[in-house]
């Protein structure tokens, strides 16, 4: 603020001298300018140096903070790299273990599948044998029934009414003797 006042005073003095018609020699201009520079130097030197020192202190503080953050970031980066190198080994171990477990599980599934297949085959065999017996019985019944039908047809062809009557009477008498 003082600089503004000094500069204003300098400009006002120059203006007044010009307007007033005073001869303003070059030497006076240099003296005025010298006084102006001296006043600025005298009044602004300490505030400017204080301001520059404060700015330097701020920059130093920021630099220290940045360096500490950089050091922390580097240590975190190194820690992360160390962990990553350990993770690669762990991943390799996990992969190998997974393959081993997968092979064991595969073999267990194959064995289970074979056992189930044997069980299914056994059950199917039992079911087929039972069904085969039923079919044989049905075939025997069918053949027996056909034989009876064929025999009955042949007997019917040869059987005369007189012979039929004689057979019925002999059968009745055989039943009567049993009782």
CA 38 to chain centre: 75
* pLDDT at 83 exceeding the cut of 90: no
* pLDDT at 21 exceeding the cut of 70: no
CA 145 to chain centre: 73
What is residue 20's three-state secondary structure?
coil
Q: Mean pLDDT, to the nearest integer, of 44-49?
A: 82
More confident residue, 51 or 43: 51
| Predicted pLDDT of residue 75 | 93
- Residue closest to 30 by CA, chosen among 21, 22, 38: 38
More confident residue, 127 or 168: 127
- Mean pLDDT for the chain overall: 83
Give the separation between CA 94 and CA 99, rounded to whole angstroms: 9
| Predicted pLDDT of residue 8 | 76
Pair 14, 32: CB distance under 8 Å: yes
* pLDDT at 81 exceeding the cut of 70: yes
Give the separation between CA 54 and CA 65, rounded to whole angstroms: 16
Give the separation between CA 42 and CA 4, rounded to whole angstroms: 14
Percent of the chain residues past pLDDT 70, beyond the cut: 87
């Amino acid at each position: 603020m003082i600089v503004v006042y000094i500069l204003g005073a300098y400009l006002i003095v120059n203006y007044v001298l010009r307007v007033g018609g005073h001869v303003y020699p070059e030497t006076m201009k240099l003296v005025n300018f010298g006084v102006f520079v001296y006043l600025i130097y005298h009044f602004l030197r300490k505030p400017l140096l204080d301001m520059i020192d404060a700015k330097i202190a701020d920059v130093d503080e920021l630099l220290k903070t940045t360096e500490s953050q950089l050091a922390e970031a580097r240590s975190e980066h190194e820690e992360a790299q160390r962990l990553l190198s350990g993770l690669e080994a762990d991943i390799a171990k996990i992969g190998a273990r997974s393959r081993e477990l997968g092979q064991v599980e595969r073999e267990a599934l194959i064995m289970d599948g074979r056992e189930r297949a044997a069980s299914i085959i056994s059950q199917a065999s039992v079911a087929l044998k039972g069904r085969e017996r039923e079919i044989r019985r049905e075939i025997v019944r069918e053949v027996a029934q056909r034989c009876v039908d064929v025999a009955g047809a042949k007997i019917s062809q040869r059987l005369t009414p007189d012979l039929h009557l004689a057979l019925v009477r002999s059968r009745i008498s055989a039943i009567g003797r049993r009782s």
